Chains A and B, each alone.
Chain A
């Protein structure tokens, strides 16, 4: 059975109120959502809340899912919007802390992410503007095609390629500055 057909069955069962189907949908997409939000800069202490909010949004709006895009693409779209919104709120909070001369919040470190390579990558990704970062993460980490990315971010395929090109170039520039 193809993924699309299997997803269609899963969506139908979820709409019928099948609890096991909801759980199967969650099990199938929770790892991707976790990875995606992490790559979009959601800090470890906010990731559980982010996943929770994203899946609640998925479950509540599943009845509006028309099946025109893939289920995975639709979930990525919800996750991207949510992660970007969280990023804006986080930056506002940081700004407020600076304005009020408070100490910057100490970020927790996820023991599973003690890899220097990932931490370095996150620092590089943080230098990219949100739109370019989203495209780069979807293409290079999530493995989506340009067409799928255009569905997720809501822009033409040409724009996806253009953002990817600029994001890659910017990543290399940032990395060169980091290497002694």
Chain B
């Protein structure tokens, strides 16, 4: 039973209410991202060199074995049926997909087929491969699924993550619980998602990712590129190239969000904070106004901060909303977009603009289905709907 669930006095109620509210202060997304960027910077979280060499050697070995499999295919085809019967329980005919160690990898038949693997089969060394004109759908566990195009292969790395080894795979991943991520690797990159549909392609020299729904992060070392629906990205496959080159967007819509470059605290922001702490709000606004004229992360931070200071320090909520709307126009896919949308919802609600706040809340829920603040906005939207209904009834 919860302590003071039924408070007997004002004092007890004070404690209970405080505890309930305190349980909700989990920090905001932006703070967590900023802290993460600093941690990545401070700890230089990159795989040890020996690990990188091992990964490169393993990839080379897998590619060589794959090539050997392709050359040996015409000779092995006659013998393949009996092996396939052992690994694919669904059919006696030549299987569309082979689930065998790399050395025995055998191409699949032309018919696409659903391949369900149990936990033990989703293990390092198992390969699901398609040949010319063949496609296959592979269940990856936890409701995730990969659809392999022809001449493609998917395997599992030593951390039991699916790894697109060759060709192209369209992945569909159900929404993951808060704090959980689904990862798939492609060459030196790790693609992490919280629930989405996307395609991973591995060509001879490049890796490509295209996002159909949701949000995807492509990681290499401590650098990441965040992609939203409609974005496409490609990067070099070779670890040598990868060590020097940054992931580059294929289309202008894609944007790099390497944490160090994007989130680190800039001098303008520090100066503005110092001015604020000294009580000089106008000086802070002046610094931020100048910073917001520029480009890049510093301008983005400044544009957002202008709204925040106007809202909380000057107590001009409507002006703050106008400033945040300017931010959204300038940085429609900005890193602070979620926070900006949320700030607008909260501020409109605070000043009693129920219709506008509700419209913004609904837009927020549609635009940020994976946001940690979703529950909070949903509750606010419900309250706004109730208020709206009550005022309509009068």
Q: Which residues of A contact B (CB under 8 A)?
A: 6, 9, 12-13, 16-24, 26-32, 34-35, 38-39, 47-48, 51-52, 55-56, 59-60, 106, 108, 111-113, 115, 117-118, 120-122, 124, 140-141, 143, 168, 171-172, 175-176, 178-179
Residue numbers in A under 8 Å from B9 (CB-CB): 176, 179
Please tell me if B73 contacts chain A, counting CB pairs below 8 Å: no
Q: Which residue of A lies closest to B2 (CB)?
A: A140
Please tell me if B25 contacts chain A, counting CB pairs below 8 Å: yes
Considering residues A28, A51, A143, which has the most beta carbons from chain B within 10 angstroms of its beta carbon?
A51
A64 CA to B311 CA, complexed, in Å = 46
A172 CA to B12 CA, complexed, in Å = 6
Asked if B11 contacts A56 (CB within 8 A), the reply is no
Per-position 1/0 for B1-40, Cβ under 8 A of A: 0010000011110110111111101111001101110110
Q: Please give the distance in Å from A93's CB to the nearest CB on chain B.
A: 16
A112 CA to B339 CA, complexed, in Å = 12
Interface size class of B (residues with CB under 8 A): 35 or more
Asked if B181 contacts A27 (CB within 8 A), the reply is yes
Q: Which residues of B contact A (CB under 8 A)?
A: 3, 9-12, 14-15, 17-23, 25-28, 31-32, 34-36, 38-39, 42-43, 45-48, 51, 158-160, 179-181, 183, 190, 192, 217, 219, 221-222, 277, 308, 312, 372
The listed residue (A23, A35, A55) touching B26 by CB distance below 8 A is A35
Asked if B22 contacts A39 (CB within 8 A), the reply is yes
Asked if B47 contacts A140 (CB within 8 A), the reply is no
Residue numbers in A under 8 Å from B47 (CB-CB): 16-19
Q: Which residue of A lies closest to B279 (CB)?
A: A106
Residue numbers in A under 8 Å from B217 (CB-CB): 20
A34 CA to B372 CA, complexed, in Å = 14
A120 CA to B25 CA, complexed, in Å = 14
Considering residues B25, B47, B312, which has the most beta carbons from chain A within 10 angstroms of its beta carbon?
B25
Residue numbers in B under 8 Å from A47 (CB-CB): 27, 31
A-B contact pairs, 27 of them (CB 8 A): A9-B160, A16-B47, A18-B47, A18-B183, A20-B192, A23-B192, A24-B180, A27-B181, A31-B27, A31-B32, A32-B26, A34-B25, A34-B31, A39-B22, A48-B34, A48-B38, A55-B39, A106-B277, A108-B277, A112-B28, A117-B14, A124-B14, A140-B19, A141-B23, A143-B23, A175-B12, A178-B14
